[in-house]
Amino acid sequence: MPGIGESTAGAIMSIAYQKSYPILDANVKRVLSRYSSINEQSTSKRDKQLWEISREVTPMTGIFEYTQGIMDLGSMVCKPKDPSCNFCPLNQICSSAFKTKEPLKAAKVLKIKPVKDINFTLAYTKNDFLLFKRNEKTFWDHRVVTF
């Protein structure tokens, strides 16, 4: 269906129909990445690895509980910042337990805005302003602003 991705479809199938389908929302990605020590920088390669892991760990029974549980684990315990490894039921077998650092963020590319000098001449009287601007097309361009 348009607008329904693989993860949403998996969540619908597992929660609504209790069928064994893997999911991979942001919280589940974080849990599985930390659990399996996935540090791939390429998003497509990382997602491919995570889908494989998600398929492997998704149980055939108890799918509703698993799906809801792994999403809740990612949102409440295995948080993006300051994960609560002490309270995590996976902390004994998790590759990243008690070692998690904040992920490095890609540096933002700053766009340099061009700077152009413009010369104006302002002539004014008590009631009117006349602003002259020199540009490439005409030698003088004027605008009258009345207040």
Given a cut of 70, is residue 91 above it in pLDDT?
A: yes
| pLDDT 10s digits, 96-125 | 888 866 554 566 777 888 877 777 677 778
- Inter-helix orientation angle 63-72/26-36, to 10°: 90
pLDDT of 105 reads 58
| pLDDT 10s digits, 14-64 | 989 999 999 999 999 999 999 999 988 899 999 999 999 999 999 999 999
Q: In which residue are the tokens 């991979």 written?
A: 24
Are the CB atoms for 33 and 50 separated by under 8 Å?
yes
> 3-class DSSP state for residue 144?
strand
Q: What is the side-by-side order of every strand in the sheet holding 120-124?
A: 120-124, 128-133, 141-146
More confident residue, 83 or 103: 83
Q: Give the global pTM.
A: 0.64
Q: How many residues are given for the chain?
A: 147
pLDDT of 115 reads 79
Domain ranges of the chain: 6-87, 116-147
Given a cut of 90, is residue 131 above it in pLDDT?
A: no
**Rounded to whole angstroms, how far apart are CA atoms 80 and 82?**
7
Class of domain 6-87: mainly alpha
